Amino acid sequence: MDAGFCSRLQEQCFAIIGMGLIGGSYAKALRRLGVKNITGVDVNKNVLQQALADGVIDRAYENAGAYLAEADVIICCIYPKAVTEFLRQAAPFIKKGAVITDVSGRKGSLPYEAQQLVPEGAEFISGHPMAGRQGNGYDMSQAEIFNGANYIVVPTPANSKAAVNWLKNFALCLGCGHVEEITPESHDKIIAYTSNLPHAAAAALINSDRFSGQSCWFIGGGFRDVTRIADINANLWSDLFLENRENVLSELENFRTQIETLQKLINENNREGLQEFLQKAACHRKEIVL
């Protein structure tokens, strides 16, 4: 990372679109970095007032407007479908040289469409911080959410090397531990396994509760760990599942096959096979969870 990159961020103007869990965390992380000019944009007036009171943003707006002409960096922390709509409204105000990025958990055609919407001289470079936590909304946001996290940079052939490098350096300044570069198509396939499937499995496990009223007294660390992400933003995740439908269904089918294998081993009282199944899982986790 360029040694002076983080300090130069302090002199830039940032606009954060959507002041929820991720947007609020960006604002707090940028304030921690010493960024002097942060604008928050959200349709929720109460959220904006809270962010202003907390001192993590300097100005607040509910819609796109002329103020965006001052922004060197625009971070879209809103639902994937809302990104292109916002950029259509914001395009007349975005200045030459501005960098625009997003945090969407599903890419699809978004990076390509967004590039077509930003004015000439500005650049949209897609990204995805793997920095979520349970719950949602501004109240759950925290600067530390990026510490040690993975950050995925998702360029297309239209992106400049300068923009790609900028986003990589930016992620490291936020505190991320590793930055990975990948195509939008590959991103969506892998995310279906590492993000979509765990959230689906956690929700299904919680909804499998047949001991309502008693379950809470029999819960230990394992159950808490596995179901933590079942405390989910239902609106957002419904969109993510449906927009990445084919990849999610493929991973759910593979997961069903694994469950059926486990069920068969238990049903057949196959201790040796069961031990092999579990040992394989333990070894593979060590390989992929760094």
Place of tokens 């500005």: 122
pLDDT the model gives residue 261:
98
Q: Give the pLDDT confidence of 80-109 residue by residue, as tens digits.
A: 889 999 999 999 999 999 999 999 999 999
**Mean of pLDDT values over 115-138:** 90
Q: Give the pLDDT confidence of 223-247 residue by residue, as tens digits.
A: 999 999 998 889 889 999 999 999 9
pLDDT the model gives residue 81:
87
Q: DSSP letters of the chain?
A: --TTHHHHHTTSEEEEE--SHHHHHHHHHHHHHT-SEEEEE-S-HHHHHHHHHHTS-SEEESS--GGGGG-SEEEE-S-HHHHHHHHHHHGGGPPTT-EEEE--S--TTHHHHHHHHSPTT-EE-EEEEE---SS-SGGG--GGGGTT-EEEEE--TTS-HHHHHHHHHHHHHHT-SEEEE--HHHHHHHHIIIIIHHHHHHHHHHHT---TTTGGGG--HHHHHHHGGGS--HHHHHHHHHHTHHHHHHHHHHHHHHHHHHHHHHHTT-HHHHHHHHHHHHHHHHHH--
**Mean of pLDDT values over 149-159:** 97
Report the percentage of the chain scoring pLDDT > 90: 90
Residue 195: is its pLDDT beyond 70?
yes
Contacts of 128 (CB under 8 A, 6+ apart): 103, 104, 105, 107, 151, 152, 154, 187, 191
Residue 114: is its pLDDT beyond 90?
yes
pLDDT the model gives residue 134:
64
pLDDT band at 290 (very low <50, low <70, confident <90, very high): confident
pLDDT band at 132 (very low <50, low <70, confident <90, very high): confident
Q: Give the pLDDT confidence of 171-192 residue by residue, as tens digits.
A: 999 999 999 999 999 999 999 9
**Mean of pLDDT values over 125-134:** 87
**Mean of pLDDT values over 248-277:** 98
Domains of the chain (ranges, CATH numbers) = 5-182 (3.40.50.720), 187-288 (1.10.3660.10)
Residue 131: is its pLDDT beyond 90?
no
